[in-house]
Amino acid sequence: MTHPPDAPRMAVLISGRGSNMVSLLRAAAQPGFPGRFVLALSNRPEAAGLAHAQEAGLAAEAVDHRVYADRAAFDAALDARLRAHAIDLVVLAGFMRVLTPGFVEAWSGRMLNIHPSLLPLFRGTHTHAQALAAGVRLHGCTVHFVVPELDAGPIVAQAAVPVRPDDDAETLAARVLAEEHRLYPAALALVASGRARLEDGRVVFAPEAGCAAGALHSLPV
Ligand code: GRF
């Protein structure tokens, strides 16, 4: 793998199947990607994604949230693993734990998440069912910096998909997931290269990132 010499060291955090992780690892394995994945962490030891990460040559570790007394203790353990691997950038990809404000603040501007809705609509879980219930005609996904408030951080990039009249939560989820796999690597490249960064609670784009950021906003066909 050839990466820029100063490419940030990245960790991907998962809880389950890890399809976003797989698309991120694939993209980051391309020559010149501006960041290097060195660690996959899961709060569930049985997460299918851990095996994929190991095959891809990353350190793959589990920090089982069930053995910690509270959220703060779990987050301290997570933080210790990230620091042990000298991680610069934390990439949440289907990581299903709420993180404590202390942990989030410690990684402020250096932690991204993908959420399967067009934020600020439909925070939390069951976003596709929420979208169907609301009757929106556009739905999608959002990559954002993580802040203490859940699913509320400054937005790096979004992709939209149409909601079709015959959709159920499953068909809609599949359409959004395909966009997630496209959007997250592109948004991560912007952040890892420093072309998108968090400043005073807003995402600031480098002038030359303008087109790249714009191109991420896909319209339904
Ligand atoms: C994705 O839809 C992600 O946006 C959400 O959880 C799902 C995880 O899927 N937070 P995967 O583990 O990446 O396949």
**For ligand 1, atom 7: residue with the closest CA:** 94
Is 0.85 surpassed by the pTM of this model?
yes
pLDDT tens-digit readout, 131-166: 999 999 999 999 999 999 999 999 999 999 999 999
Q: Point out the residues that are catalytic.
A: 115
Mutate to test the pocket of ligand 1, among 42, 139, 180 (most ligand atoms within 8 A of CB): 180
Quick one: which atom of ligand 1 is closest to the CA of 92?
10
CA dihedral 90, 23, 115, 39 (to 10 degrees): -20
Q: Which atom of ligand 1 is nearest to the CA of 93?
A: 13
Q: Read off φ and ψ for residue 200, nearest 5 degrees.
A: 50, 45
pLDDT tier at 5, thresholds 50, 70, 90? confident
- Predicted confidence at residue 216, as pLDDT, reads 54
Around ligand 1, the residues with Cβ closer than 6 Å are 14, 16-20, 93-94, 114-116, 177, 180
Summarised one tens digit per residue, pLDDT across range 19-58 is: 999 999 999 999 999 999 999 999 999 999 999 999 999 9
* Architecture of the structural domain at 1-107: 3-Layer(aba) Sandwich (3.40)
Q: Omega before 120 cis (within 30°)?
A: yes
What's the CA gap between 141 and 160, in Å, rounded? 7
Residue 92: CB atoms within 10 A of its CB come to 21
Rounded Cα distance between 134 and 85, Å, is 43
The domain locations on the chain are 1-107, 114-221
Mean of per-residue pLDDT scores for the chain = 93
Is the model's pLDDT at 217 over the cut of 70? Answer: no
| Residue 216 identity (one-letter amino acid) | L
Higher pLDDT, 62 or 219: 62
Q: What is the pLDDT of residues 84-97, one digit of tens each?
A: 999 999 999 999 99
At the top level of CATH, which class does the domain 114-221 belong to? alpha beta
Ligand 1 centre to CA of 20 (Å) is 6
Check if the beta carbon of residue 75 is closer than 8 Å to that of residue 107. no
Residues 6+ apart with CB under 8 A from 61: 39, 40, 41, 42, 50, 81
Which atom, in ligand 1's list, is nearest to the CA of 113?
A: 10
